[in-house]
Amino acid sequence: MWFAAAASSPVRLGQLLTGWQHDAGSLTALAVLAALGAAYAAGVHRLARRKRRWSPWRSAAFGAGLVLVELAVGSGIASYDDSVFTVHVVQHLLLMNAAPPLLALGAPITLLLQATRRRTTSRLLRVLHSRPVELLTHPLVAFGVATATMYAYFLTPLYGASLRHPVLHDATHLVFLLAGCLYWWLVVGLDPIPHRLGHAARMGYLGLGIPLASFLGVAILNMAHPIAPEHTLADTRAGGGVLWGFSELFTVAALAVIFLQWVREEDRRAAREDRRLDAVAAAEAVVAAAAERLGEHPEEL
């Protein structure tokens, strides 16, 4: 079984917990993540000054997404990404399947639109509805980009090249994160993007990706040779199993989130309809009372 296979080199818990990276790429990523977190917090603070409430759950989700990105590229996980393929797979799953949904649930675009001045908001809306953004966020384009990113990286010489060229390696991290954001913003995102899918369409969208992710994991799991000279065959197959299993796990979790969003939206819609019917009934009661009164006292006409 894949989960019984040995890794290329021993993975030590102490190294995972304490092996924080201090190279230029990791420190740059940390600075960017800190800036994004500070900007998000400033937006929430600005709304609070305007007496407008921002959901703490959204803030927590966005913060958790940033933390997962940092864990992927700056923690002890990153110290093994050149030597242990299984850990490398975990790193890329964090960047593409774990952090992006949380960032999307944080609704940063909505926060930006609400926290900025009206003129800036108008400009942002024009950008959001521009042709390039509409094309890039089209479901077929986002799905294709995410799928092509995974297949091109793991099934071509690009993977081996990234191990030998640090700049290319850092670039692949960014590409995985951006591709994941494109994909997951359509699935669980709360922001006003051009192509907003209904809940049933989101579930179907996720369903399309299940066989493709499974095929990629199984293809790596059944490789006859190591994916790169730096790894053993056992480690390669273990990584394929991790990719297969955890891709399915993220999909199931996303389906649960979509279902909960669907239920909440239906509850809000039912509440709005109840309020509308109550208002109509109250207006009809007023009209009926007025008509009855006029019938009893026609002199008031």
pLDDT the model gives residue 300: 53
pTM: 0.83
- Inter-residue contact 152 to 141 (CB < 8 Å): no
Alpha carbon distance 108, 66 (integer Å): 12
pLDDT the model gives residue 264: 82
Question: Is residue 293 domain-resident?
Answer: no
pLDDT the model gives residue 295: 64
Give the model confidence (pLDDT) of 146-181 as tens digits.
Answer: 999 999 999 999 999 999 998 999 999 999 999 999
Calculated CA dihedral for residues 281, 285, 291, 293, nearest 10 degrees: 180
CB atoms inside a 10 Å sphere around CB 70:
21
pLDDT the model gives residue 268: 79
Question: Is residue 115 domain-resident?
Answer: yes
Alpha carbon distance 251, 257 (integer Å): 10
Question: Is residue 99 domain-resident?
Answer: yes
Average of per-residue pLDDT values in the chain? 86
Alpha carbon distance 270, 260 (integer Å): 15
Question: Is residue 149 domain-resident?
Answer: yes
pLDDT the model gives residue 290: 67
Using alpha carbons only, what angle is made at residue 124 by residues 123 and 129, rounded to the nearest 5 degrees? 100
Residue 90: in which H helix or E strand, if any?
helix 85-93
pLDDT the model gives residue 4: 40
Question: Is residue 29 domain-resident?
Answer: yes
Question: Is residue 17 domain-resident?
Answer: yes
Tokens of 262: 């669907």
Give the model confidence (pLDDT) of 238-261 as tens digits.
Answer: 999 999 999 888 888 888 888 888
Residue 264 sits in which domain range?
A: 12-272
pLDDT the model gives residue 181: 94
pLDDT the model gives residue 23: 85
Closest C-alpha to 187, from 82, 100, 63:
100
- CA-to-CA dists, residue 179 to 146, 147, 235, 276, angstroms: 5, 9, 26, 42
Residue ranges in the chain whose pLDDT is less than 70: 1-9, 273-274, 277-278, 280-281, 284-285, 289-292, 294-301
Alpha carbon distance 129, 193 (integer Å): 8
Question: Is residue 4 domain-resident?
Answer: no
What is the number of structural domains in the chain? 1
pLDDT the model gives residue 220: 94
Percentage of residues of the chain with pLDDT beyond 70: 89
pLDDT the model gives residue 146: 93
CB proximity list for 158: less than 8 A, separation 6 or greater: 152, 172
